[in-house]
Amino acid sequence: MSQKNNTKIIAIAVLVVLIIAGIGFFLMQQPKQPQPTTPQQPTTPSQQTATTRPKLVIWGRSTFTPPQMYWIEKKVREWAAKNNVDVEITWLSVTDIGKKLIAAVEAGNPPDIVINGHPVAIFAEKGLLIQIDDIIEKLNKSDIYEIKLKECEWSGHYYCLPTMFEATWLHVRWDIVKKANAENLFPLKTLDDFYTAAKVLNQVEPGVYGVGLPLGLNGYDTWWTFLHFWGGYGGGMLTDRSVAGVIMDKEPYRTGLKKAFEIERKIWLEKLTPPDSDQWVDASNNNAYLQGKIAMTMNPASIWYAVMTQNPALAANTKLFLLPVSVDCGDESVFIFKTTKYPDLAKDLVYYLYADKEDYRKGFCEASGLYALPIFKSQMQVISKDWKAGKYPALGEDPAKAVEKIKFMETAAFPLGERTTPSETFREGFTWNEMIQRVVIKGEDPDKVIDEYAAKLREEVKRVYGG
Amino acid sequence: MSKTTRSLYNWIYVLPTLVLIIFIFIIPIAYNIWLSFQEKTIGGEAVFAGLKNYQRLLASSMFYKSVGNSLLYTFISVTSKALIGLGVALLLNKKFWGRGFLRGFSILPWAFPSFVVAVLFWFNYDYRGTFNTIFKMLGLQPVHWMSYENAMWSVILINIWHGWPFFFMGYLAGLQAIPTDLYEAAEIDGANVYQKFIHITVPQLKQVLLTVMLLSTMWTLGEFTQIYMTTGGGPVDATLTIPMATYKIAFLTEINFPLAAAYTILVLPIYLFLIYFTLKQMGE
């Protein structure tokens, strides 16, 4: 090979590599936001051939009650078989799903459908989700609880459908209550009674703490347990989507928040909760109750489900009561990203999940030991009738009455009562947990901490809504 | 072949590596720098924000706390690992029955992946876990290993337990390379054990000592798994180190990628200094 040719080949090779590198660099510079796609031709099962078989990617939030996942899987696969569609279902843990969804959206590659997942407002307020008003109408809008509809409504339209009510119950060891002669304390009349009950039940049996109070940094339970006190004592976060709407540091909301800190701080300092509560994650209070370490704890009925299925002796000694302030933790919803290639199919699947309401009640709600309560009034009435007939003796209250008492939703900014990006961001990011730990565990001055987190919230509101 | 052609040929040979470096190193760093000057919400467009992210970080106590925690965690861990590793290497460099077994056994903690070590210690540190059970048997009060006051020391202990065999292996290899006649000559001159250690072992091991320490310092500074899986950076901010803080800013408390990018740029000098120091050391 001549020297001239060598030089030519080398020069061409260098040039090609540089062009490839340049194109790559240019592509990496392009913003990778999920863009709404123009739907392809409407796909109906009859039009599909083996070569163009559509595929839906589904992410689900795994729950503490496996029958719920079995039911979802069964329904999805049933629908896929009927419609000649491929489905890929990935189950993610409660602590993972939010972060993974955010990362997927940022990478421009979200799933088609999310079932039983969260957050929603973060995506809905950015216009990344498909409107599902028609599905809501088809399911008979008036049969869905208003509070559940509100959870999914932005600017007069619906972008998700909640999968359940997840009422909070106080799980109580009735044998210990009897030993302490404290039957008259239950159901609790005021939030202050929570502290009283914890004190009365503490160490009645050696080694059994009065209450299991989640205080860990990396679990949602810390936040929503605190929400009962924060909201219940008259605190607040946001009144509207503006910087001026941040009210957590203004009176009377500041006093409400300080009272919430105070009750949890007293429980912590007086050792009424296990010493490792400051590391608890979402399953920890469940396990502490199951292992007999605590006399009572707040939780949705997933604990009750575990007690029933794993420890009949403990189930016989357990009673469930509503708290004086009721919080719905069921922010998990079904929603569809606009990036889906098959919006019609995705919507059809979402409708299919709920269309047979009786099947939803039996397969998703009753099979979970009422950890999930139905979002449909008609189905709640069936459960209420069963409760009155004595089917659920451990429940200290009619579930239908219980859901009507719900004042707060876990991811809704209160007193606004709507899901907002900042309220979801602070919940998803465990920012509130950090605030709680600083006062309750570390013992920092509550006023100083409130000022700091109010400033953080204002900054976030400004970042998201401007102004 | 002319000099120019040979030079071009050399370039052709390194070109694939060069392209790889551009794609997996230069472009992401450039993107990270660009991102650190933006402001962005999830799913939204990036908007130029100037130095806002940097100002916000420099004004936050979290930044200083995380850097301080990282330096403390790294300094105590690396120093302890180095001392334990050196001590065990000196012991196991002597000839005695069962030495081979002990050498193999000593490497065991290092053979475990980080997440296994974290899970293992999670059970050990539980309030009713292994350590407190032993304490109870000895008539001692149980310790709240992961409390705000103790959490940092607990994660340091995990890191020491997991990392000291690396030092041990490096030092043992270095010790075995020291010619025995140096010690024999020193003995003839009347040197005692301490003098032999200071004037022969340490200078001969200097290169290995520094290299192993620098590598371990970089790894310890970047340790994420053990802390994430045991304390998650808490309670409060007790174990919030640089990698944990980066993760928290990006995916937790802020869910803010540009701010996380700015944070990594701010802490970059610490790592660059270490890399420079390592390269300089290796060059010498």
pLDDT in tens, A424-454: 999 988 999 999 999 999 999 999 999 999 9
Superfamily of domain B62-282: MetI-like (1.10.3720.10)
Say if A12 is an interface residue toward chain B (CB within 8 Å).
no
Same domain, A160 and A198: no
Q: What is the DSSP letter of B283?
A: H
Say whether A14 and B234 touch across the interface (CB within 8 A): no
Say whether A33 and B44 touch across the interface (CB within 8 A): yes
- Tokens in use for A129? 């989700």
Say whether B248 and A429 touch across the interface (CB within 8 A): yes
- Residues B278, A143: Cα–Cα separation, whole Å: 68
Judging contacts by C-beta atoms under 8 Å, the chain A residues touching residue B34 are 29
**A260-269 pLDDT, tens per residue?**
999 999 999 9
Same domain, A102 and A232: no
Q: Which residue in the set B8, B252, B257 is minimally distant from A106, CB to CB?
A: B257
Give the minimum alpha-carbon distance from B256 to chain A in angstroms, rounded to a whole number: 10
Say if A212 is an interface residue toward chain B (CB within 8 Å).
no
Judged against a pLDDT cut of 90, whether residue A381 lies above it is answered with yes
Same domain, A67 and A150: yes
**A8-17 pLDDT, tens per residue?**
666 666 666 5
Asked if residue B37 lies in contact with residue B53, where contact means CB atoms within 8 angstroms, the answer is yes
Closest CA to A409 of A217, A235, A237, A167: A167
Say whether B126 and A276 touch across the interface (CB within 8 A): yes
Asked if residue B199 lies in contact with residue B191, where contact means CB atoms within 8 angstroms, the answer is yes
| Residue B45: pLDDT band with limits 50, 70, 90 | confident
Say whether B44 and A421 touch across the interface (CB within 8 A): no
| Residue B43: pLDDT band with limits 50, 70, 90 | confident
Question: Most B CBs within 10 Å: which of A14, A16, A434, A464, as the mutation test of the B interface?
Answer: A434
Say whether B5 and A6 touch across the interface (CB within 8 A): yes
Say whether B46 and A14 touch across the interface (CB within 8 A): no
Question: Most A CBs within 10 Å: which of B48, B252, B256, as the mutation test of the A interface?
Answer: B252
Q: Confirm whether A262 is domain-assigned.
A: yes
Say if A128 is an interface residue toward chain B (CB within 8 Å).
yes
Judged against a pLDDT cut of 80, whether residue A19 lies above it is answered with no
Same domain, A346 and A295: no
Say whether A425 and B144 touch across the interface (CB within 8 A): no
- Tokens in use for A403? 């859901």
Asked if residue A300 lies in contact with residue A371, where contact means CB atoms within 8 angstroms, the answer is yes
Judged against a pLDDT cut of 80, whether residue B282 lies above it is answered with no
Residue of A nearest to B10 (CA): A10
Say whether B43 and A106 touch across the interface (CB within 8 A): yes
Say whether B42 and A275 touch across the interface (CB within 8 A): no
Q: Which residue in the set A105, A276, A278 is minimally distant from B42, CB to CB?
A: A105
Say whether A434 and B236 touch across the interface (CB within 8 A): yes
Give the minimum alpha-carbon distance from A120 to chain B in angstroms, rounded to a whole number: 12
Judging contacts by C-beta atoms under 8 Å, the chain B residues touching residue A31 are 45-46
Q: Which residue in the set B27, B45, B147 is minimally distant from A25, CB to CB?
A: B27
Judging contacts by C-beta atoms under 8 Å, the chain B residues touching residue A430 are 252-253
pLDDT at A38: 37
Say if A464 is an interface residue toward chain B (CB within 8 Å).
yes
3-class DSSP assignment, residue A297? strand
Domain ranges, ordered by start, for chain B: 1-49, 62-282
Judged against a pLDDT cut of 60, whether residue A37 lies above it is answered with no
Say if B5 is an interface residue toward chain A (CB within 8 Å).
yes
Judging contacts by C-beta atoms under 8 Å, the chain A residues touching residue B8 are 6-7, 10-11, 14
Same domain, A289 and A372: no
Closest CA to B241 of B113, B32, B64, B76: B64
| Residue A393: pLDDT band with limits 50, 70, 90 | confident
Domain termination site, one of A366, A394, A422: A394
Same domain, A195 and A290: yes
Same domain, A88 and A205: no
Query: Element (H or E) spanning B197, and its range?
Result: none
**Counted domains in chain A:** 2
Judged against a pLDDT cut of 60, whether residue A34 lies above it is answered with no
Judging contacts by C-beta atoms under 8 Å, the chain B residues touching residue A429 are 248, 251-255
Q: Confirm whether A11 is domain-assigned.
A: no
Range of the domain at A450: 169-328+430-465
What is the count of residue pairs from A and B with beta carbons less than 8 Å apart?
Answer: 123
Q: How many CB atoms lie within 10 A of CB B197?
A: 14
**B184-240 pLDDT, tens per residue?**
999 999 999 999 999 999 999 988 988 899 899 999 999 999 999 999 998 999 999
Give the minimum alpha-carbon distance from A342 to chain B in angstroms, rounded to a whole number: 21
| Residue B277: pLDDT band with limits 50, 70, 90 | confident
Judged against a pLDDT cut of 70, whether residue A184 lies above it is answered with yes
- Residues A350, B60: Cα–Cα separation, whole Å: 44
- Residues A293, A270: Cα–Cα separation, whole Å: 16
Judged against a pLDDT cut of 50, whether residue A67 lies above it is answered with yes
**A132-182 pLDDT, tens per residue?**
999 999 999 999 999 999 999 999 999 999 999 998 999 999 999 999 999
Say whether A217 and B9 touch across the interface (CB within 8 A): no
* φ/ψ of residue A89, rounded to 5: -105, 130
Mean pLDDT value across residues B1-14: 84
Say whether B147 and A428 touch across the interface (CB within 8 A): no
Mean pLDDT value across residues B24-29: 91
Give the minimum alpha-carbon distance from B246 to chain A in angstroms, rounded to a whole number: 13
Say if A40 is an interface residue toward chain B (CB within 8 Å).
no
Closest CA to A447 of A274, A270, A253: A253
Asked if residue A126 lies in contact with residue A95, where contact means CB atoms within 8 angstroms, the answer is no
Say whether B236 and A126 touch across the interface (CB within 8 A): no
Domain termination site, one of A343, A366, A394: A394
Say if A13 is an interface residue toward chain B (CB within 8 Å).
yes
Compare A7 and A226 and report the one with higher pLDDT: A226
3-class DSSP assignment, residue A413? strand
Judged against a pLDDT cut of 90, whether residue B44 lies above it is answered with no
- Tokens in use for A184? 């008259």
Same domain, A313 and A340: no
Annotate A31-64 with DSSP letters as a single string: --PPPPPPP-SPP-GGG--GGG--EEEEEEE--S
Residue of B nearest to A100 (CA): B251
Same domain, A348 and A361: yes
Same domain, A228 and A98: no
Say whether A7 and B12 touch across the interface (CB within 8 A): no
Q: Which residue in the set B23, B42, B127 is minimally distant from A106, CB to CB?
A: B42
Same domain, A444 and A299: yes
| Residue A3: pLDDT band with limits 50, 70, 90 | low
Asked if residue A93 lies in contact with residue A282, where contact means CB atoms within 8 angstroms, the answer is no
Q: Confirm whether A44 is domain-assigned.
A: no
Q: Which residue in the set A10, A21, A428 is minimally distant from B8, CB to CB?
A: A10
Give the minimum alpha-carbon distance from B218 to chain A in angstroms, rounded to a whole number: 27
Q: Confirm whether A103 is domain-assigned.
A: yes
Q: Which residue in the set B12, B22, B39 is minimally distant from A10, CB to CB?
A: B12
Query: A3-29 vs B3-21: helix axis angle to the nearest 10?
Result: 20
Say if B45 is an interface residue toward chain A (CB within 8 Å).
yes
Q: Which residue in the set B5, B41, B233 is minimally distant from A7, CB to CB?
A: B5
- Tokens in use for A44? 């109906």
Judged against a pLDDT cut of 60, whether residue A43 lies above it is answered with no
Say whether A128 and B232 touch across the interface (CB within 8 A): no
C-alpha count within 13 angstroms, C-beta hemisphere, residue A133: 6
Mean pLDDT value across residues A300-313: 91
| CATH number of the domain encompassing residue A267 | 3.40.190.10
Q: Confirm whether A414 is domain-assigned.
A: no
Closest CA to A326 of A198, A192, A191: A191
User: Which CB contacts under 8 angstroms, 24+ apart, belong to B122-130?
Assistant: B122/B229, B122/B230, B125/B154, B125/B230, B126/A276, B127/A274, B127/A275, B127/A276
Among B residues 108-137, those touching chain A with beta carbons less than 8 Å apart: 126-127
Say whether A278 and B12 touch across the interface (CB within 8 A): no
pLDDT at B275: 78
User: Range with the lowest mean pLDDT among A7-11, A23-27, A56-60, B247-251?
Assistant: A23-27
